[in-house]
Amino acid sequence: MRRLVYYVATTLDGFIAGPDGGDPSGADFFPITDDVVQFIVENYPETLPDPVRTALGIDGAGTVFDTVVEGRGSYELGLAAGIPDAYPHLRHLVFSTTLPGSNSGAVEIVRDEPAETVRELKREEGLDIWLVGGGTLAHALLPEIDRLVLKVNPSIIGSGVPLFNGPFAPTLFTPVDETDLPGGVRVLTYDRR
C-alpha cells in the first residue's frame, strides 16, 4: 500500500513558514545551499518545482512520489510566483473549499474531506504520496501520515505556520534515519508507530 509522506522543511522551533505564510526560502530562513540541493536531487528529485527541475536538467517520472497533495495556502505561493502547476510531472491535488476551478487542467482542486481522499489514494497502485503542507492540512491528515521526512534547518523564527496546526493530538513516530548535511540542515525520517 502507498504511504503518505510529509516531506517538509522546518525550523528548529517547528515552523514551516513565517507569520504571513509566505515563501520561507532565503538566506535567513531556509537557505538553499548546494548541499541541500544535492540531497534533494539525489533523494527526492520529483519534489523540486518544474522551473528548478528544468534549470537542473532533471526530467522523467518520480522514483519516490507520483502524487502530491497540498493545501490552498502552499498552492497559492506557486500561483503568486506565476507557476500554476509547480509539479506537472506528478498527479497534483490541492485541498480547498474556496479556490475556483484550476487554471491548469493538471491540478485537481479537491473539495472533499482530505483524510478520506488520501485513504482512497493509498488504495490505488503507485508510488508514495507527498504531502507538501501546510500545517493545517498536515494536522487534518495526521491520522493518515505514515512517514515524516523533516529537513530541519538551523534557524529559529519564533512564530509562523507550525508543522501541524490544529488541536492537541499526541501521535508517536519512530526514528528510522538521520542525515546531517554539511551546511547544517539535518534530515530526520520517522515512521508511524
pTM: 0.95
Cβ proximity of 118 and 144 under 8 Å: yes
Instruction: Report domain extents, the chain.
Output: 2-190
- Per DSSP, the three-state class of 108 is strand
Strand partners, 93: 69, 108
- Tell me what pLDDT residue 71 has: 95
Distances (CA, A) of 77 to 82, 117, 131: 9, 23, 15
- Tell me what pLDDT residue 20 has: 86
Positions in the chain short of pLDDT 70: 26-27, 102-104
Query: To the nearest whole percent, how much of the chain has pLDDT over 90?
Result: 81
Domain over 2-190 is classified CATH 3.40.430.10: yes
